[in-house]
Structure 1
Amino acid sequence: MLDLTGWEPLGFSVDWATVEEELGVPLPADYKELAEAFGGGVFSESVSFMSCGASVSFDLPAQWRAALSAARDGTYGSVSAAGPYDAYTPGGKGVVTWGSTEWADQYCWLIDAERPGHCPVLARSHDPGPWYRYDMSTAEFLHRVLADADFRPFGIAHYGLGAMFVPESAGRPL
């Protein structure tokens, strides 16, 4: 991803032990490397990437807590916005969102506390279509989204946006 974007790693320090203790599972190692190198922000003017410790709009733990709170609310019954997948609950199985697009595509991991370290990527496009499962790393999925025009339905390279990154700071891209 660094080569693709020409980005110089920022070297953010993240307290992974605290984040993973709250979640109750380890996060993918390549995601942690991406988060430390890039922080939260936007790739190619359209793909949001959540980090840890960024502003609320790009903070993975804050977004996960909000999704978990909404799932536990009960106001709308048992309907799940991530259906058929529920928000991940510590010790259980469900989704944690790590990215999205301006077109409302959603990128998540399917996390199962009984299989720590195994985090396939789940993605769905903006229309109420199916979830797609990818048994690949977060970095590989993100690279394919940005660079592979044939990566349907998620590849954006065919739009000619280039592969760049704009970090987020204080609620606004820098």
Structure 2
Amino acid sequence: MWVQRVIELTGWEPLGICVDWAAIEAELGVPLPADYKELYEAFGGGVFSDSVYFLGRDEGRGAFDFLKQWRADLSVDQDSKLGDVSAVEPYAIYAPGGKGLVEWGSTEWADEYCWLIDAQQPGEYPVLARSHDVGGWHRYDMSTSEFLYRILADADFQPFGIAHYDLGTTFEPGSGDPVEGQPL
């Protein structure tokens, strides 16, 4: 329902990207939210309303590539040269079999959108969001697509809603077009 609302809101024609979810989820060690998979297959990676970055698939530069971002975040979070401090405190970046954050979106204002994933509780994906202007993490017990819709369409969805800026509700895909029928 919420994925369809995002599609209608943006006037986007779903891409129907073919994704090897088994390989992605095997690397992560947990299944991903079903509605995120629908968003990913419909949009790939790119930018909503010129300001909300959605990580999906970006075969060009990889700027919007979900797995590439997660691997980079995990590498930095686990780098012993940087000490025990995590960029997502009081959490850590999710590592297979553990509990932590996986980023799926952000904004040009440095807001971050993540899931709190616990391998011991697969199927639960609260959205955690942080704005550097407001500080601290905010928890939302709603689907990825509902959170995204509310950001784009609900002017009262504070502190993360952008509808009050009147930026329009567009989607611009990341670099590189998906190769028809090719799995990620």
The normalised TM-score by structure 2 is 0.90
Matched, 1:156 2:156: no
Matched, 1:167 2:173: yes
CA distance in 1, matches of 2:115, 2:57: 15
> Who is 2:63 aligned against?
57
Cα deviation, residue 53, structure 1: 5.5
Q: Which amino acid aligns with 1:20?
A: E
Deviates further, 52-61 or 148-157: 52-61
Shift in alpha-carbon separation, 1:70–1:128, aligned structure 2, 3 A: farther
> Who is 1:43 aligned against?
48
CA distance in 2, matches of 1:52, 1:163: 20
Q: Structure 2: which 5+ residue stretches go unaligned?
A: 1-5, 178-184
Matched, 1:96 2:102: yes
Report matched runs for 1:9-88 at 5 Å. 9-52=14-57, 54=59, 55-88=61-94
Cα deviation, residue 169, structure 1: 1.6
2:7 counterpart (2, 6, 21): 2
Does the CA contact (< 8 Å) of 1:40 and 1:52 recur in 2? yes
CA distance in 2, matches of 1:42, 1:128: 22
Report matched runs for 1:84-163 at 5 Å. 84-127=90-133, 129-163=135-169
The normalised TM-score by structure 1 is 0.95
Does the CA contact (< 8 Å) of 1:14 and 1:52 recur in 2? no
CA distance in 2, matches of 1:145, 1:85: 23
Deviates further, 19-28 or 65-74: 65-74
Task: Write the deviation string for residues 87-111 of structure 1: whole angstroms up to 9, x where unpaired.
Answer: 0010000000000000000000000
Task: Write the deviation string for residues 114-168 of structure 1: whole angstroms up to 9, x where unpaired.
Answer: 0111110000002361100000000000000000000000000000001110001
Q: Report how many aligned residue pairs link the two structures.
A: 171
Task: Write the deviation string for residues 29-80 of structure 1: whole angstroms up to 9, x where unpaired.
Answer: 0000000000000000000000045442111111100011101111221111
Cα deviation, residue 170, structure 1: 3.7
Q: Which amino acid aligns with 2:103?
A: T
Higher relative contact order (CA 8 A, sep 6+): 2
Shift in alpha-carbon separation, 1:25–1:53, aligned structure 2, 3 A: farther
Does the CA contact (< 8 Å) of 1:145 and 1:155 recur in 2? yes
CA distance in 2, matches of 1:128, 1:85: 18
RMSD: 1.3
